[in-house]
């Protein structure tokens, strides 16, 4: 079987329409009467909060779900897409948020896998490799097809995914939050590739909730909210504020008013702290930092550069292999989580569903996760005092605007934003001296994000020392008084708020020293 | 304002319960259908077989009493299993822990033979609980501190306990009256004062007519072990869901990482869950001795003393939804199954192995229905997660 890959691609999709699409899940109307259209040569952004129905809509286009009503028209003719295989046959490709690559295989092998080979059971890796090189050259997608995927950086893996889709003849490409794992420079590279593809006549659907990226790359934007389409508008003329309002359904604030920083005494200090990561490799290398009362210190970096380990060593959840940690001048290097807690350190963990809450427990039970043994919540030092816990829970639900049927509901039934509000309520109710906030708004909708940000700023003004670890640069920039950049387990730079420069920040995150601009 | 969501939560909880019982009923039905095929293959009528089974289990006063007697050790073990499984440790060592408890308990009972019952019985029960707990604790300790799989270690410790019992019953604990070359391995009989009293219910005259007796279970082997077991089931329910220790046990069982984050000493609570499970199995052992057999004796096989209650207790716990209160009817159900099967075997003159096969089928279907239920719930949750903010709408 020869692929028409050697000729310049002439995408066969001029127009794709989805009309009156409806998708129900048990008890939920996930997508309700949505119309959507994308044409050759355009990038159409699909914008919406978590749970707005973006992914569900696109999974129907890619054949992963079947719509309950509505139809899909390809170049004006109705098509029935029953599986991803059908979708690929029709020229529709999808780049998922989590890459679907076999780490131990090379890029060429990954692409050849699942294709019919001219040699029966043996993969056509050399031919595929050669064709991939051609494709990579045309779109300026720098990838060596012969290196095992696990050795590639995240951005490179994404390029392999795109190459694979192109190789399979995708004329329409769905990109599901493609920038979530990239550094600013990699985002720029990706955008160049996407523009080249539209110039070649590809149709692209760009799923995102990052407003500035949508504004930068797309020609049209469709906004979904609660499973329904709000509107499709041309990107030219749209503003961040307008898009955010459409997404949330009410006016939102993107910039916060902030008090001037009132830096107080040092609350937390790390001195040359090293620790292993889960694989047993060096995850943290001689990290030193000082966190003072009344300031928010942001830790920026691409995922997996030691941020997770940093939060865990401070919270006492990961043993350190060198260095020392002090809270309020007291050494806590070998203290356990309960002891560190007792010194006034609160921790909003990165993986809230694994570390931060117990899914099967109720909202109320989760609210007292650390304080379940505190005299306030117990009787005779033996029994849980569920009356008191219930009272505290009702207060927290009210004060933190947590949407739940009640304190007795299993927490797994709550949305991500509401679970995070509960974690926040729990961690702030202890009036911490130090707050470690790891990815506090990941997977949280705009409304809840705004709420959490305001709370963090209020906490800072109250005098709490806050370490904000986030992969969301916008969040870091919006909240931090100082920014530390982590790369390969080290802190490679510190930038005060007043001197922030995105280019410099991006360079640090990518591991290149800003001192050598030639890199 | 608050009562409305409360009522909703109750309705949801009820619905969940109903959802839990339906697969159980289907599993039971399927098991009975497959067993019918086996019975037909042996030229036995399934209808006759099952009705004989039912009569055998609950048909007479004595049958019901025997069912309850069989249920007692199963219930003790099941209570412990509820704690272990809720605490995230898979205890398959009920058999061994039962034996350990029984050996310790009978040793104390025989040593205190001259003391009054009020001293002997509590002392024997405490000894059985402690030694059962220590025996279970071995596996818990190995799991918590050396990452030894507790399923493997408890199964192996079952064998160790059986051999230890065989050794003791043939030597140090052997009934002096039995000494000789062809002795039966058993201890001396316990003092009468050490026997658990028989349990019966004096009925008012109005009701007595219905049961045909004024002293229900008066002439049966039913003993006070049942009261102790049901009482402890209720206390264990309180332990798991109302106390700090229970909160920690369940937290460790649901998520080790979250428990660590909460400042709970995960390893200690793992050992504790296992010890409590072992302790309850130990009670199963000593109550068999003090309430029923009045001595410890064995045919040398693992089930010779325990009657496989150490394993049946696991199934009963699962059947009861890992809730000690649910374990009470579940244990009675399995007790009835065992007793009813004996009658069916006599009535239909089918081979004993068929009975074992039917029991096995029920266990297989019931356990797989649990997995099935769990998978359904997981799929429902996955579908819901496609669109997280449902609860808001539900509450609105």
Tens digits of residue pLDDT in B43-70: 889 999 889 989 999 999 999 999 999 9
CA distances from A196 to A95, A189, A191, B314 (A): 17, 11, 9, 63
Average pLDDT across chain A, whole number: 88
Question: How far apart, in whole angstroms, are the C-alpha atoms of residue A426 and residue B215?
Answer: 58
> Percentage of residues in chain A with pLDDT exceeding 90?
56
Structure tokens at A323: 């260095």
pLDDT of residue B228: 97
Q: Rounded CA gap, B176 and B188, in Å?
A: 7
- Per-residue confidence of chain B (396 residues) as pLDDT tens digits? 344 445 555 666 666 666 667 777 888 888 889 989 988 998 889 999 889 989 999 999 999 999 999 999 999 999 999 999 999 999 999 999 999 999 999 999 999 999 999 999 999 999 999 999 999 999 999 999 999 999 999 999 999 999 999 999 988 888 888 777 677 888 999 999 999 999 988 888 888 877 778 888 888 999 999 999 999 999 999 999 999 999 999 999 999 999 999 999 999 999 999 999 999 999 999 999 999 999 998 887 878 899 889 999 998 998 888 999 999 999 999 999 889 988 888 888 887 677 778 778 877 887 777 666 666 665 555 554 444 333 333 332
> How far is it, in rounded angstroms, from Cα A484 to Cα A464?
18
Tell me the nearest-neighbour CA distance from A451 into chain B, angstroms.
17
User: Residues of A numbered 51-70 whose beta carbons fall under 8 angstroms of chain B's beta carbons: which are they?
Assistant: 51, 53, 55-56
Q: How far is CA B313 from CA A466, B30, B169, B376, in A?
A: 51, 22, 25, 25
Per-residue pLDDT at B112: 94
Which helix (H) or strand (E) element contains residue A157? helix A154-167
Nearest to A372 among B247, B260, B387 (CB): B247
Q: How wide is the angle at C-alpha A372 spanned by C-alphas A367 and A376, nearest 5°?
A: 100
Model confidence at A11: pLDDT above 70: no
Q: Which tokens hold the place of B78?
A: 């099941």
Question: Measured between beta carbons, which residues in chain B are less than 8 angstroms from residue A317?
Answer: 260-261
What's the CA gap between A433 and A294, in Å, rounded?
Answer: 10
Give me the pLDDT at residue B394, please: 35
The CATH code belonging to domain B67-347 is: 1.10.3470
Of B155, B226, B173, the C-alpha closest to B196 is B226
Q: Grade residue A155 by pLDDT with cuts at 50, 70 and 90.
A: confident
Q: Model confidence at A439, in pLDDT bands (50, 70, 90)?
A: very high
Which of A51, A373, A406 faces B6 most closely, judged by CB atoms?
A406
Smallest CA-to-CA distance from B273 within B291, B302, B253, B288 is with: B253
Q: In the predicted model, what is the mean pLDDT of residues A402-417?
A: 86
**N residues, chain A:** 519
Tokens matching residue A268: 């937390």
pLDDT for residue B2: 40
CA distance A400 to A427: 12
Written as six digits, the tokens of B173 are 């604990």
DSSP string across B89-135: -----HHHHHHHHHHHHHHHHHHTTTS-HHHHHHHHHHHHHHHHHHH
For residue A215, pLDDT over 60 is answered with: yes
Residue-level pLDDT at B381: 53
Q: Where are the domains of chain B?
A: 1-44+350-396, 67-347
Rounded CA-CA distance B106/B290 in Å is 8
Whether residue A417 contacts residue A350, with contact meaning beta carbons closer than 8 Å, is answered with no
Do the chains contact at A357 and B390, CB–CB below 8 Å? no
Q: Kindly determine whether residue B386 and residue A56, on different chains, have CB atoms separated by under 8 Å.
A: yes
Rounded CA gap, A137 and A152, in Å?
A: 18
Q: Are A23 and A65 in contact (CB under 8 A)?
A: yes
Q: Kindly tell me if the per-residue pLDDT of A364 is higher than 90.
A: yes
CATH 3.40.718.10 fits A266-509, yes or no: no
3-state secondary structure A484-496: EEEECCEEEEEEE
CA B59, CA A169: separation in Å to the nearest integer? 73
CATH of the domain spanning A15-248, picked from 3.40.190.10, 3.40.50.300, 3.30.9.10, 3.65.10.10: 3.40.50.300
The predicted pLDDT at position A518 comes to 38
Residues of B within 8 A of A403 (CB-CB) are 389, 391-392, 395
* Count of Cβ atoms closer than 10 Å to residue A125 Cβ: 21
Q: How far apart are CA B14 and CA A224, in angstroms?
A: 36
Residue B224: what pLDDT?
96
E strand residue ranges, B194-320 = 201-202, 215-216
Candidates A467, A484, A476, A491; CA nearest to A442 is A476
pLDDT over threshold 90, residue A440: yes
- Sheet strands (E) in A330-415: 330-331, 345-348, 378-379, 383-384
Residues of A in contact with B248 (CB under 8 A): 372
User: Which residue among A28, A56, A317 places its CB closest to the CB of B261?
Assistant: A317
CA distance B74 to chain A (A): 27
User: How near does any CA of chain A get to the CA of B229, in Å?
Assistant: 22
Q: How many CB pairs under 8 A join A and B?
A: 125
Q: Taking residues A397-423, what's their average pLDDT? A: 88
Between residues 333 and 362 of chain A, which touch chain B (CB distance below 8 Å)? 336-338, 341, 347, 349, 354-361
Q: Delimit the domains of chain A by residue range.
A: 15-248, 266-509
Closest residue by Cα to residue A314 from A279, A282, A350, A280: A350
């Amino acid at each position: 079987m020869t692929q028409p890959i050697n000729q310049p691609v002439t995408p066969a999709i001029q127009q794709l329409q989805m009309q009156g699409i409806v998708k129900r899940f048990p008890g939920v109307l996930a997508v309700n009467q949505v119309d959507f259209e994308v044409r050759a040569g355009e990038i159409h952004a699909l914008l919406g909060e978590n749970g707005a129905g973006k992914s569900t809509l696109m999974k129907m286009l890619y054949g992963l779900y079947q719509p309950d009503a509505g139809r899909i028209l390809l170049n004006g003719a109705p098509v029935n897409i029953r599986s991803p295989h059908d979708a690929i046959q029709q020229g529709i490709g999808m780049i998922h948020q989590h890459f679907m690559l076999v780490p131990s295989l090379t890029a060429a092998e990954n692409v050849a896998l699942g294709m019919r080979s001219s040699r029966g059971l043996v993969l056509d890796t050399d031919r595929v490799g050669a064709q991939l090189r051609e494709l990579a050259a045309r779109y300026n997608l720098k990838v060596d097809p012969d290196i095992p995927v696990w050795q590639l950086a995240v951005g490179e893996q994404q390029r392999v995914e795109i190459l694979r889709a192109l190789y399979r003849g995708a004329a329409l490409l769905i990109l599901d939050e493609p920038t979530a794992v990239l550094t600013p420079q990699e985002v720029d590279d990706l955008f160049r590739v996407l523009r080249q593809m539209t110039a070649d006549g590809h149709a692209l659907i760009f799923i995102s909730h990052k407003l500035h990226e949508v504004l930068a790359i797309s020609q049209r934007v469709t906004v979904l909210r609660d499973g329904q389409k709000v509107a499709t508008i041309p990107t030219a003329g749209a503003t961040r504020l307008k898009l955010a309002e459409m997404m949330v359904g009410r006016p939102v604030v993107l910039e916060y008013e902030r008090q001037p920083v009132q830096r107080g005494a040092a609350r937390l200090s790390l001195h040359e702290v090293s620790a292993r990561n889960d694989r047993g490799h060096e995850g943290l290398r001689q990290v030193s930092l000082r966190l003072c009362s009344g300031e928010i210190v942001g830790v920026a970096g691409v995922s997996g550069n030691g941020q997770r380990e940093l939060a865990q060593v401070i919270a006492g959840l990961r043993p350190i292999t060198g260095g020392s940690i002090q809270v309020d001048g007291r050494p806590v290097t070998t203290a356990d989580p309960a002891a560190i807690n007792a010194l006034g350190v609160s921790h909003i963990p990165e993986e809230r569903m694994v570390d931060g809450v117990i899914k099967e427990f109720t909202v109320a039970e989760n609210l007292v996760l650390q304080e379940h043994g505190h005299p306030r919540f117990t009787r005779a030092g033996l029994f849980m005092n569920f009356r008191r816990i219930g009272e505290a829970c009702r207060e927290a639900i009210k004060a933190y605007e947590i949407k739940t049927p009640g304190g007795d509901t299993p927490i797994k039934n709550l949305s991500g934003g509401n679970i995070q509000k509960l974690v926040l309520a729990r961690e702030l109710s202890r009036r911490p001296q130090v707050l470690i906030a790891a990815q506090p708004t990941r997977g949280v909708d705009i409304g809840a994000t705004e709420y959490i940000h305001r709370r963090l700023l209020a906490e800072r003004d109250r005098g709490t020392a806050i370490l904000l670890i986030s992969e969301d640069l916008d969040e870091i920039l919006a909240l931090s008084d100082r920014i530390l950049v982590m790369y390969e387990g080290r802190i490679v730079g510190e930038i005060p708020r007043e001197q922030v420069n995105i280019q410099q920040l991006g360079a640090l995150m990518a591991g290149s020293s800003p001192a050598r601009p030639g890199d | 304002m608050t009562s409305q969501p409360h009522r909703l939560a109750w309705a949801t909880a009820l619905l969940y319960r109903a959802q839990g019982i339906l697969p159980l009923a289907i599993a039971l039905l399927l098991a009975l259908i497959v067993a019918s095929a086996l019975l037909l293959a042996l030229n036995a009528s399934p209808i006759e077989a099952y009705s004989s089974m039912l009569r055998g289990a609950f048909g007479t006063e004595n049958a019901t009493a025997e069912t309850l007697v069989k249920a007692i050790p199963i219930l003790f073990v099941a209570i412990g299993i509820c704690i272990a499984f809720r605490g995230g440790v898979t205890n398959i060592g009920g058999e061994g822990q039962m034996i350990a408890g029984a050996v310790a308990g009978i040793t104390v009972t025989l040593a205190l033979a001259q003391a009054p019952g009020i001293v002997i019985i509590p002392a024997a029960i405490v000894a059985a609980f402690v030694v059962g707990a220590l025996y279970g604790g071995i596996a818990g300790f190995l799991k918590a501190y050396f990452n030894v799989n507790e399923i493997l270690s408890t199964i192996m410790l079952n064998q160790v306990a059986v051999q230890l019992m065989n050794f003791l019953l043939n030597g140090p604990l052997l009934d002096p009256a039995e000494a000789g070359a062809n002795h039966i391995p058993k201890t001396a009989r316990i003092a009468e004062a050490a026997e658990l009293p028989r349990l019966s219910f004096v009925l008012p005259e109005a009701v007595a007519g219905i049961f045909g007796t004024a002293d229900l279970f008066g002439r049966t082997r039913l003993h006070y072990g049942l009261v102790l077991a049901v009482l402890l089931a209720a206390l264990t329910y309180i332990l798991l869901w109302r106390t700090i220790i229970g909160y920690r046990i369940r937290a460790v069982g649901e998520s080790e990482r979250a428990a660590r984050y909460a400042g709970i000493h995960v390893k200690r609570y793992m050992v504790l869950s296992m010890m409590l499970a072992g302790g309850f199995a130990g009670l199963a052992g000593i109550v068999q001795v003090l309430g029923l057999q009045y001595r410890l004796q064995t045919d040398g096989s693992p089930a010779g003393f325990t009657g496989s209650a150490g394993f049946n207790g696991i199934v009963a716990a699962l059947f009861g939804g890992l809730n000690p209160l649910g374990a009470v009817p579940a244990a009675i159900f399995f007790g009835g199954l065992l007793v009813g099967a004996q009658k069916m075997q006599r009535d239909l003159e089918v081979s004993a192995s068929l009975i074992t096969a039917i029991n096995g089928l029920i266990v297989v279907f019931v356990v797989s229905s649990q997995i099935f239920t769990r998978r359904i719930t997981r799929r429902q949750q996955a579908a819901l997660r496609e669109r997280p903010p449902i609860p808001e709408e539900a509450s609105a």
